[in-house]
Amino acid sequence: MTVFSGPMATISETAKRDSLWAFFGAAACAWLTWKQPGPIAVAGLVLFLAEGILLRRRHKAGAALAVLIPVSLPILMIWLIATQGFSGWRVTFLLLSPLGIWANWSSYGDLLRGKAGWDDPEDADEREHDGGKDPDKPMISIVLLQRRPKFLDPAILLESIRDAWDEHRKLGEDDLFVAGEGPVIMVKSPQGMWMIHNHPAPYFDPEHPARKIPELRLRKIVEEHTAWIAVDLLHAFESELPADLHYPFIFRLIRELADDDTLAIFRPETGEINVWTAEVAARLGSYDPLEEFAKPVHSPVIEVSGDDPRMQAAVAEAQRRFPEFRERWATRAEGEGFLVKASIPKEDPEGSEVIWIEVTGLEPDFIHGTLANQPVDLGDLNSGDAVEVPVGNLYDWAIAARDMDAPLGLFTEKVVRAVQQESRRDFQAGGNA
C-alpha cells in the first residue's frame, strides 16, 4: 500500500496512540504472570494484547475492548477488596477507573454507536461544529486507473448500477435513475446523489506526487494509465450517518465498472493505491473492504542503484558464496526451497529486471527455474513461467529448510529494505505522506 496523504486528528490516530498503551499493559501483565502466575494476570495479558493489535488494525473490536477493559477494572477491584482486603493499589485503581471509562468512551463511543468513522475527528464537538464535514477533505470517492478509455453511456451505466445495487430489480425510475452524458453522469439512488466520472485522460497531472511512488510496479501504472473512472458520493440523504458507510455501495459499483483495462484502484480520501487484480476485486466484497482493498498483492519492487556500494557488496558476497548453494542443492531433501535472484533482460535490450526465481535445475553455467513473483516489465512473462538465466546474472540466493532457524542467503534483502525506508522518508519529506 502506498499513501500520498492522510487525515489529521482522527479517531484512527488516537487508536494508534492507545495501542501503545495497550501493549504496555500487556507487557506489565506478562511481567506479573512471570512473578505471580495466576488467571487474572494471564487474562489481562490476552485482553491488552488483543486490544493493541485490533486498535492498530482499525477494528471496532479493539475500540470495544478499550472501553470494556476499564469497565471491568472496578468490578475486579471490588471483588479483590471483598475477598482479599484493602490495599493501596486496589483502592487507587478503583478510584481511577471511572476516569479511564470516561476517556475511552469519549474517544470511541461515537465510533461504536455508528456515529463516526475512523477518519473522523476524535472530538465529537468538532464534528458537530462543522457538520461532520471538512472543506479541505477529499470527497468520498474511489477511482479506477484505466489502460484505455471505457465506453460508458447512461443505459450501460444504469444496468451496471442495477447489477451492483438493485440485484432484484425492485427500484423504480423515481428511486434509481441516471442523468447526463459525457464524462460526468449524475446518479440518484435511495442512498443519495452520486457522480460518475469517465475521463479519457490521466488522473494525475505531471507534477502529482503519485508519479514519484517508490514502488516501481505502481509507479509504472501511474505513468502508463491513459484514462480513469470514479464513483463519488455527492450528497447522502441520511446525513446523520458517517459518510464512509457509503463506501460498500461504491465498491460494489466499482467492481461492475472494472474490466480488463483496469490497472489500479485509488482512494483519494486517504491516498491509498493498489494494483487491480481478481484478489483485490474479491476484497471489495469483504466485511471491511476499507481495511482490505489496499493490502499489497505483490511483493514490492524497489529501484536500487547499481552504483550503491551496499548493493555491490551484497551481490559480491552472494556470488562468492554461491558454491554453498550448489552443495546444498546437490544433497537437497524433500520440502527444501531453493531460490535465486537474477537479472532477466527486458524487451527493451537496454534494460533488465532483477527478480526471484524458484530453482528447478542447476547447470555449471545456467540456472533453470520458474518466476517466483509477478514481474513488472518483462513482456508476456508471468509468475510461474519457466525461465533460464546465466549464472553470471546472479544477484542473490536463498535456501529454506526445516532444520534451519532462518533462510540461508538473502544477502541483498537488508539493502533493499534500507533503500525502501529511505525512499519512503524522501517521499514523505516532500509533503506527500
Write out 359-387 in H/E/C secondary structure: EEEECCCEEEEEECCCCCCCCCCCCCCEE
- Write down the domain spans for the chain: 11-128, 141-292, 309-420
- Checking if the pLDDT of 430 tops 50, the result is no
Q: What local confidence, expressed as pLDDT, does residue 4 receive?
A: 39
More confident residue, 139 or 367: 367
Find how far residue 97's CA is from the centre of its chain: 35
Q: What local confidence, expressed as pLDDT, does residue 424 receive?
A: 56
What does pTM read for this prediction?
0.51
Structural fold of domain 309-420: SH3 type barrels. (2.30.30)
- Checking if the pLDDT of 431 tops 50, the result is no
Give me the phi and psi of 393, to 5 degrees please.
-85, 5
Q: What local confidence, expressed as pLDDT, does residue 2 receive?
A: 38
Q: State the pLDDT confidence band at 214, using cuts at 50, 70 and 90.
A: low
Q: In the predicted model, what is the mean pLDDT of residues 238-245?
A: 74
Q: In the predicted model, what is the mean pLDDT of residues 191-216?
A: 79
Strand order in the sheet with 272-275: 177-179, 184-189, 192-199, 227-236, 141-146, 262-267, 272-275
Q: State the pLDDT confidence band at 251, using cuts at 50, 70 and 90.
A: very high
- Checking if the pLDDT of 94 tops 90, the result is no
Closest CA to 228 of 158, 157, 143: 143
d(CA 297, CA 284): 14
Give me the phi and psi of 315, to 5 degrees please.
-65, -40
- Checking if the pLDDT of 281 tops 70, the result is yes
Q: In the predicted model, what is the mean pLDDT of residues 309-333?
A: 90
Q: Check if the beta carbon of residue 210 is closer than 8 Å to that of residue 273.
A: yes
From 116-130, 157-171, 349-363, the region with the lowest mean pLDDT: 116-130
Q: In the predicted model, what is the mean pLDDT of residues 255-268?
A: 92
Name the 3-class secondary structure at 227. strand
What kind and span of H or E run contains 325? helix 322-330
The alpha carbon torsion through 115, 119, 124, 126 (nearest 10 deg) reads -130
Q: What local confidence, expressed as pLDDT, does residue 70 receive?
A: 72
Mean pLDDT, the chain, rounded, equals 78
d(CA 206, CA 203): 10
Share of the chain above pLDDT 70, in %: 74
Q: In the predicted model, what is the mean pLDDT of residues 184-200?
A: 89
Q: In the predicted model, what is the mean pLDDT of residues 289-310?
A: 69
pLDDT digits (tens, 9 = 90+) for 3-52: 333 333 477 777 787 888 778 777 876 776 776 666 666 776 777 788 87
pLDDT digits (tens, 9 = 90+) for 116-153: 776 666 555 545 434 344 445 567 899 999 999 999 88
Q: Residue type for 303, please?
A: E
- Checking if the pLDDT of 420 tops 60, the result is yes
- Checking if the pLDDT of 372 tops 50, the result is yes
What kind and span of H or E run contains 326? helix 322-330
d(CA 152, CA 431): 36
Q: In the predicted model, what is the mean pLDDT of residues 146-168?
A: 90
Q: What local confidence, expressed as pLDDT, does residue 129 receive?
A: 39
